Structure 1
Amino acid sequence: MLDKSTFTPHGKHLIAGEWVAGETTFSSEPAHGPAHDFSVGTPALVDRACEAAEDAFWTYAYSSRDDRAKFLNAIADEIEARAEAITEIGTQETGLPEARLQGERGRTTGQLRLFAEHILKGDYLDRRHDKALPDRKPLPRPDLKMVQRPIGPVAVFGASNFPLAFSTAGGDTAAALAAGCPVVVKGHSAHPGTGEIVAEAIHAAIQSCGMPAGVFSLIQGGKRDVGTALVQHPRIKAVGFTGSLGGGRALFDLCAQRDEPIPFFGELGSVNPMFLLPEAAKARGKAIGEGWAGSLTMGAGQFCTNPGIAVVETGPDGDAFVKAAAEALKGVQTQCMLTDGIANAYKDGKSRFDGRNAVKPVLTTDSEGRNASPNLYETDAANYLQDHALGEEVFGPLGLVVRVLGSDEMLELAKGFEGQLTATLHMDEGDTDRARTLVPVLERKAGRILVNGFPTGVEVADAMVHGGPYPASTNFGATSVGTLSIRRFLRPVCFQNMPDAILPDDLRS
């Protein structure tokens, strides 16, 4: 019997139910523990996986919601059966603490079970029926029935910062499988072993549930040609991506340039501005500053919802907030970042602020190797609005305070922000009028608006929106978290005067 509590990677791709070795390999770069060799993906393997996904679509897209729900729950069960092994390989590869991996595993299985429950309810189908009116004058009306149907095979790119919840069996994969779409995952080279063990869990669920083998494939590693081949493969009908602005925009452009353009659902970057209104700053600026420091450095700042910018008025209340944040940041020890590349990018991002005349250093540190230390800078609204580089995301524990002269300048600054995943208001009752003025601006800038909280921590629930105007995401009408995310992989189909016998099962009366 397979011992699921231990795991040694074999380094192969999973393609249509087979573990396939590549001609060349790459070595993982764990934060600690042993390195392992993994096969390098190729365009030929991409083609094989995509063709298998297309073959599987003709069966899987027409499977019952009950069968798909059982499949999603089986994946969750298989992941939980490998809990200890997943935590071990995940912490080795990423340097994330055990508690973080355990929590993320729970979120991953929770997403799968949530979608299983969601599709059984059937509300996502948005079924509509206009009955025939044969006697209507001057023209009769036909019988019209509409339902949401799966779009076809979906490509998913694993994320560097969430080895479980946004990767192999993460939210994009769960939503696509729930919709009835086979999935081809390009694993992230930052955590290939974690990707492999989760793929083993999905493979086991495919076998136990009798699903077509091509419903899921994992391709490891590979250079840019592998990603290009995946998003441009004619069998792929949509792409889910979480990553950098540069990489995501390149893939987005490739999707648009195809003979058949397809939607690219990319989450690319966000600084998640936080606005401190005067009464809140006066009453509890110190506490907000301390809380901001904790959110800013959570997970070494490697969250897409990391609140990198705080907006506060000039004056003693704002000064107290900045001082409290700086003191709290001084007490934060160095943290291991996910990869050497991310650590180097953090240092490069910090260098953009050093030596800038318009930027005042409040707390500066030197980060060495793969470890990161927090940094804090300050500027004013006029300089921020004139210098686009100050608004670019720094992936890591770096914060920027932007000081404003009053309500008008705060409003002007809010209008100057690009699209964001989140925007936060810290307010007390006396700030209501100011907040009422800001909200119409913020709802055009962000997918989620918080009050008196911090955006790190994204609840997986029906009402959650994790997306926003560009560059936060490439499709502002979508979310990558919550049950609404299933809509990305569905399209409406209308059936006119069609007998029940040949209608999709979900439309039969």
Structure 2
Amino acid sequence: MTHTPHGAHLIAGERVSTAARFISDPAHGTAHEFSVGNPDLVGQACAAAEVAFDNFAATSREDRAVLLEAVADQIEARAEEITAIGSQETGLPEARLQGERGRTTGQLRLFADHIRKGDYLDRRHDSALPDRQPLPRPDLRMMQRPIGPVAVFGASNFPLAFSVAGGDTAAALAAGCPVVVKGHSAHPGTGEIVGDAIVAALALCGMDPGIFSLVQGGKRDAGEALVTDPRIKAVGFTGSLGGGRALYNLCAARPEPIPFFGELGSVNPMFVLPEALLARGQAIALGWAGSLTMGAGQFCTNPGIAVLVDGPQADAFVATTTEALQQVAPQTMLTPGMAQAYLDGATRMAKGQGVQTLLAAGAEDRAAAPHLYQVHAADWMADRGLSDEVFGPLGLVIRVENAKQMEKVARSFAGQLTATLQLDDGDTDLGRHLLPVLERMAGRVLANSFPTGVEVAHAMVHGGPYPASTNFGATSVGTLSIRRFLRPVCYQNLPQALLPRDLDMS
């Protein structure tokens, strides 16, 4: 099915156009015109969200669950249009987009089920003790309440799961917070269709259209206006370290600082322990090559670094990885800018201290080919630039002298989204020794698998210490992500008639 974009912003249910326009840059197919966002539009969207907040925050969990399910239904009703224009804009294969759409709608339905149960409210009650000595205790009740309108920045690499109706938006709506989305200019047509789906769902549910707005495109001023608007009470962001840090600083510098939940960058190291390397080094190398190049390496959980003990088994691992990567054809990246940034990163890597190039290739237009490098641990630790993320299918092997140096390398990493242990039974003692280091480093620790592929589930953590994310106590994936947009409120001696209905625990 063909979708011709209307090119307008969605401000509280209304399509609003601006005179300034930008043209999309699709990987293939027709380019389209879209309105350019500006601070005035952002202000209108934030004002509508503030007006909608009180009533939306007071809706029942059932009503919000029905809304989330309606959004999922409306997205599925536009499935063919989303896949078609999404593939044109991003160059991602249709199967990948279909899977991502399923993840997006599945997440919405999971959140609906989760809030119906009410456990996320963390309700607590300390009964009054009027006769307690030396002082009586009042009646205390506590639960989580929505914080206010939330700003969401769409991600470049996930046009559905981390964008207009992705994890941040789903979590905020589940919590009872209106959302203003700043759409990503890499896939504005895809974002537009999904935005239309949310608008339709709100109308079907008879809810205030100010609960959702989408501002497309725009220069830096639109993003800055969004995070500094006094009506916005939290920000969700997935993107680059530089861009995210700039927005984080703006949030912190506001007269009323607000939380900035940013996922910024990660190299996701994989530690291949000696017994596992000896027993199945070839299989691990092949798996790493596949994970490294999945989706042209454009995953935030791309395992960009492998750490292993030097020796013949390491030589074999490197040889197998190199051969496997040589068989991977160039893949289209999401934007020309990302393809250029990938090549720039590969060039920097090749110039790093003690770095040996094992595989390198050029790029044509938006197509990126794998790069592979290796370095000894001492050189890697001496050149901190080698730990910077290169967004694309690039891998670095770090050779360590022994288990002791492997631990030293592990302790030198900054915060990561994931850390992986490849280990066999004979590696248990070393794995037990490394685990506390990896727990401190990463939000998710894996064994004998690869981190690409983030399960949307109750126990998932997609976050980690800085610079993986700006809030180590939060996750942007899974039901725990809803808690980012809630805050605890204690009700002391309030009469039953005034208590929020969700505090009725009878």
Give the TM-score normalised by the residue count of structure 2: 0.99
Letter in 2 for 1:170: G
How big is each residue's C-alpha offset from its partner over 1:309-360, in whole Å with a ceiling of 9 and x where there is no partner?
Answer: 0001100111111111100000000100000110010011001022445100
- What is the match of residue 477 of structure 2? 481
- What is the match of residue 400 of structure 2? 404
Work out the CA distance in 2 between the residues paired with 1:117 and 1:498. 30
2:241 to 242, 245, 248: 245
Work out the CA distance in 2 between the residues paired with 1:139 and 1:504. 28
The 3-state SS of whatever aligns with 1:61 is helix
Work out the CA distance in 1 between the residues paired with 2:493 and 2:122. 19
- What is the match of residue 28 of structure 1? 24
> How big is the shift at 1:464?
0.2
- What is the match of residue 211 of structure 1? 207
Work out the CA distance in 1 between the residues paired with 2:276 and 2:234. 44
2:292 to 292, 296, 315: 296
1:430 and 2:390 are equivalent in the alignment:
no
How big is each residue's C-alpha offset from its partner over 1:184-227, in whole Å with a ceiling of 9 and x where there is no partner?
Answer: 00000000000000001001000000111100000000000000
Question: Does the C-alpha gap of structure 1 residues 138 and 355 become closer, same or farther in structure 2, counting only changes over 3 Å?
Answer: closer
Work out the CA distance in 2 between the residues paired with 1:224 and 1:298. 31
- What is the match of residue 7 of structure 1? 3
> How big is the shift at 1:163?
0.1
Work out the CA distance in 2 between the residues paired with 1:364 and 1:230. 41
- What is the match of residue 221 of structure 1? 217
Work out the CA distance in 2 between the residues paired with 1:336 and 1:69. 38
1:50 and 2:60 are equivalent in the alignment:
no
- What is the match of residue 493 of structure 1? 489
- What is the match of residue 66 of structure 2? 70
- What is the match of residue 120 of structure 1? 116
Give the 4+ runs in structure 1 shifted more than 6 A.
Answer: none
> How big is the shift at 1:165?
0.1
| 1:461-476 map, 5 Å | 461-476=457-472
- What is the match of residue 99 of structure 2? 103
How big is each residue's C-alpha offset from its partner over 1:166-189, in whole Å with a ceiling of 9 and x where there is no partner?
Answer: 000000000000000000000000
How big is each residue's C-alpha offset from its partner over 1:256-291, in whole Å with a ceiling of 9 and x where there is no partner?
Answer: 000000000000000000000000000010110011
1:505 and 2:474 are equivalent in the alignment:
no
How big is each residue's C-alpha offset from its partner over 1:83-129, in whole Å with a ceiling of 9 and x where there is no partner?
Answer: 00000000000000000000000000011000000000000000000
The farther-off stretch of 170-179 and 365-374 is 365-374
Letter in 2 for 1:421: L
The 3-state SS of whatever aligns with 2:15 is strand
| 1:363-382 map, 5 Å | 363-382=359-378
Letter in 2 for 1:22: T
The 3-state SS of whatever aligns with 1:205 is helix
The 3-state SS of whatever aligns with 2:262 is strand
2:191 to 192, 195, 207: 195
1:449 to 445, 452, 459: 445
| 1:38-437 map, 5 Å | 38-437=34-433
Question: Does the C-alpha gap of structure 1 residues 290 and 351 become closer, same or farther in structure 2, counting only changes over 3 Å?
Answer: same
> How big is the shift at 1:369?
1.4
Work out the CA distance in 2 between the residues paired with 1:110 and 1:137. 53
Asked whether the 8 Å contact 2:415–2:441 carries over to 1, the reply is yes
Give the TM-score normalised by the residue count of structure 1: 0.99
Among the aligned pairs, what percent are the same residue?
72
Residue ranges of structure 1 left out of the alignment (5+ in a row): none
Letter in 1 for 2:226: L
Letter in 2 for 1:34: T
> How big is the shift at 1:23?
1.7
Asked whether the 8 Å contact 2:350–2:373 carries over to 1, the reply is no
Letter in 1 for 2:73: D
Work out the CA distance in 2 between the residues paired with 1:130 and 1:370. 60
Work out the CA distance in 1 between the residues paired with 2:360 and 2:158. 27
Work out the CA distance in 2 between the residues paired with 1:325 and 1:56. 54
Work out the CA distance in 2 between the residues paired with 1:354 and 1:136. 71
1:440 and 2:432 are equivalent in the alignment:
no
How big is each residue's C-alpha offset from its partner over 1:216-269, in whole Å with a ceiling of 9 and x where there is no partner?
Answer: 000000000000000000000000000000000000000000000000000000
Asked whether the 8 Å contact 2:352–2:386 carries over to 1, the reply is no
* Count of residues in Structure 1 that have an aligned counterpart in Structure 2: 505
Asked whether the 8 Å contact 2:299–2:452 carries over to 1, the reply is yes
Work out the CA distance in 1 between the residues paired with 2:117 and 2:12. 30
Work out the CA distance in 2 between the residues paired with 1:204 and 1:357. 55
Work out the CA distance in 2 between the residues paired with 1:388 and 1:28. 37
Letter in 2 for 1:7: H
